[in-house]
């Protein structure tokens, strides 16, 4: 049986009943098989899994999709029940932000790059809600997806730099059979747009091949750009090869190739880790 908590009181009572190790999976709902994998990984790491479902207004820009972000609580709960989740925390906006927060987490320089450059304030909003969720649910471990690689890196820094006492675990990207990374925002895509969106995984695959063949960073990036820019209906936002921890230029070894592109009105992101030759 999955317990559902909407209020802080309900959460407090339900959390107290969980006496073993707990793992938190923070989500914005509209759960898909990518979230399911995070939940399964969390189950392997702890006695009880807590899933939070909250569409966090703090991380959306004024012209973004907060109002139309997909929401389906009944289907989400069904998945959580099927996966043996102990506790679902689904607060209202009012419960999470009783008043406008005077204090926010500042994501720092890493939070200004890539997604942060395209979405000013996004990561301050993400890290603020993650810190609140950690404090409210007090997990031993929390699982985040590699799909949002910059978010994952920043949450690791958050936990370490503020000594939050939560271990952060990464879960690999879950893709559809045709390679498109699963995302709640894929629901926005028309059939034609969904087809066009395959340019993202295709760009990553082509670039990874260039890296495997010893290509220089500029060649790896150019291979990805080439595919994105020649795809009809796709407008690239950025293609970047960065150090997966600092998001600075990679110095050789593992590097993160991250892409963001607009397909119609939908902004999609994807990434792959490649190996870059030193020097």
The residue within the footprint of ligand AMP, chosen from 41, 128, 150, 183 (CB under 6 A), is 183
d(CA 48, CA 3) in angstroms, rounded, equals: 12
- Using CB under 6 A as the binding rule, whether residue 113 contacts ligand AMP is answered as no
- Using CB under 6 A as the binding rule, whether residue 173 contacts ligand AMP is answered as yes
183 vs 266, beta carbon nearer ligand AMP: 183
- Using CB under 6 A as the binding rule, whether residue 171 contacts ligand AMP is answered as yes
Q: Give 91: exposed, middle or buried? Use CB within 10 Å, 0-12, 13-18, 19+.
A: buried
The residue within the footprint of ligand AMP, chosen from 22, 27, 95, 236 (CB under 6 A), is 27
Beta-sheet pairing, 3-5 with 266-276: unpaired
48 vs 115, beta carbon nearer ligand AMP: 115
CA atoms within 13 A on the CB side of 87: 27
- Beta bridge pairs of residue 115: none
E strand or H helix that includes residue 191? helix 191-196
The residue within the footprint of ligand AMP, chosen from 89, 123, 134, 144 (CB under 6 A), is 144
Q: Which pair of tokens denotes residue 142?
A: 């929390």
The conformation of residue 18, written as its DSSP 8-state character, comes to -
Stretch that binds ligand AMP, among 3-11, 44-52, 140-148, 202-210 (CB under 6 A): 140-148
- Using CB under 6 A as the binding rule, whether residue 270 contacts ligand AMP is answered as no
63-102 residues near ligand AMP, rule: CB under 6 A: none
The residue within the footprint of ligand AMP, chosen from 125, 145, 217, 250 (CB under 6 A), is 145
56 vs 95, beta carbon nearer ligand AMP: 56
201 vs 215, beta carbon nearer ligand AMP: 201
Stretch that binds ligand AMP, among 4-12, 95-103, 144-152, 157-165 (CB under 6 A): 144-152
| Residue whose C-beta lies closest to ligand AMP | 145
Q: Which of 6, 32, 35, 157 is catalytic?
A: 35
Closest CA to 91 of 43, 26, 41: 26
Orientation of helix 149-161 relative to helix 122-137, angle to 10°: 60
- Using CB under 6 A as the binding rule, whether residue 38 contacts ligand AMP is answered as yes
d(CA 2, CA 162) in angstroms, rounded, equals: 31
E strand or H helix that includes residue 73? helix 73-82
The residue within the footprint of ligand AMP, chosen from 18, 34, 46, 87 (CB under 6 A), is 34
CA atoms within 13 A on the CB side of 250: 24
Question: Which strands form 48-53's sheet, in the order they lie side by side?
Answer: 3-5, 87-89, 48-53, 22-27, 141-145, 167-171
In the annotation, is 35 catalytic? Answer: yes
- Using CB under 6 A as the binding rule, whether residue 137 contacts ligand AMP is answered as no
Question: C-beta of 6: minimal distance to ligand AMP in Å?
Answer: 18
Question: C-beta of 30: minimal distance to ligand AMP in Å?
Answer: 7
Orientation of helix 122-137 relative to helix 8-16, angle to 10°: 50
Residues serving a catalytic function are 35
For ligand AMP, the binding residues (CB under 6 A) are 27-28, 34-35, 38, 144-145, 147-148, 171, 173-174, 181-184
């Amino acid at each position: 049986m999955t317990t559902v908590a909407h209020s802080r009181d309900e959460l407090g009572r339900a959390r107290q009943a969980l006496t073993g190790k707990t793992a938190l999976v923070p989500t914005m709902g509209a759960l898909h098989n990518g979230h399911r994998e995070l939940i399964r990984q969390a189950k392997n790491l702890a006695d009880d899994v807590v899933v939070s479902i909250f569409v966090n207004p703090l991380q959306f820009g004024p012209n973004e999709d907060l109002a139309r972000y997909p929401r389906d609580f009944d289907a989400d709960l069904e998945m959580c029940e099927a996966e043996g989740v102990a506790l679902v925390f689904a607060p209202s906006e009012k419960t999470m932000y009783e008043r406008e927060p005077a204090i926010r987490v500042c994501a720092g320089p890493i939070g200004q790059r890539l997604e942060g450059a395209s979405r000013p304030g996004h990561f301050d909003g993400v890290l603020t809600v993650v810190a609140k969720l950690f404090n409210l649910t007090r997990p031993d471990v929390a699982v985040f997806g590699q799909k949002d690689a910059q978010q994952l890196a920043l949450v690791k820094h958050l936990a370490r730099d503020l000594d939050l006492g939560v271990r952060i675990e990464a879960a690999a990207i879950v893709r559809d059979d045709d390679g498109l990374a699963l995302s709640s925002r894929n629901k926005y895509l028309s059939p034609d747009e969904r087809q066009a969106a395959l340019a993202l995984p295709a760009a990553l695959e082509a670039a990874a091949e260039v890296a495997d063949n010893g290509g220089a960073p500029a060649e790896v990036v150019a291979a990805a750009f080439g595919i994105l820019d020649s795809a009809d209906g796709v407008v690239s936002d950025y293609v970047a090869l960065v150090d997966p921890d600092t998001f600075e230029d990679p110095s050789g070894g593992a590097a993160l190739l991250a892409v963001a592109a607009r397909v119609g009105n939908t902004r999609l992101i994807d990434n792959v880790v490649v190996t870059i030759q030193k020097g």
